[in-house]
Amino acid sequence: MKQIASSTALALAVVVFGAGCASGVKNPSGVPVTVMKPDEQGFVAGTGIESQDLVSVTDKMARSLLSTPEINSFPGGVPRIVILPVENSTRFPINKDLFTARIQAMLNSKAQGRMRFLARDRMTALEQERQLKQEGKVTSNSDPNIQEFKGADFFLTGKLMSLTTQAKAGVSDYVLYTFQLIDPRTSDIVWEDSAEVKKQSIEDAAYR
């Protein structure tokens, strides 16, 4: 009886153990779609620039810019702003337009007409449209020969810089985001703000 019991226990242990490691496939049934907020860190993370950084940085910049006296008390009415591409001086290749696109969208939605952005990235199409109007090929509600394209009162641009430290304890990446509002007439920097993010991790020994 004792022998039977011990043999049965052994066989049971084998079955349980075997069942636990039989598939070799991770998540064989898949993982349902996980909806995440763009400002929260997902389970796929590195030390680079991620969506939560983009959201927090652009939120901060938009808030800061909206409270700038040069914008709120612009003497010429509503200031016109042209966004220049940011310069990426970090070690992380990124889609730089994400930053300017989100800042512009945030400001346009929150500013309630206190500032206007000029669509310089659409100049080719705008000039073609104006030419069609000047040639009478399409209708126009105003005299198309009068120059109505606005000049910029300010340039909004930014720069991303990083400092990487690698040590036995792992890798650490500090990223500094700076944005500036520049008066193109005087080259004055009338507003500047920054945000910084630092991340660190240590790689698994299997990759070191």
Distance CA 93, CA 159 (A): 13
Closest CA to 88 of 25, 29, 162, 28: 162
Burial 63-77 (b: 16+ CB within 10 A, else e): ebbbebebbeebeee
Task: Tell me if residue 26 falls in helix, strand or coil.
Answer: coil
Among 12, 36, 45, 125, binds another protein (CB under 8 A): 45
- The yes or no reply on residue 46 touching another protein (CB under 8 A) is yes
Binding mask 162-181 for another protein (x = CB under 8 A): --x-xxx--x----------
- The yes or no reply on residue 16 touching another protein (CB under 8 A) is no
Among 7, 8, 131, 145, binds another protein (CB under 8 A): 7
Nearer to another protein, 89 or 145 (CB): 89
- The yes or no reply on residue 21 touching another protein (CB under 8 A) is yes
Distance CA 17, CA 29 (A): 20
- The yes or no reply on residue 47 touching another protein (CB under 8 A) is yes
Nearer to another protein, 60 or 91 (CB): 91
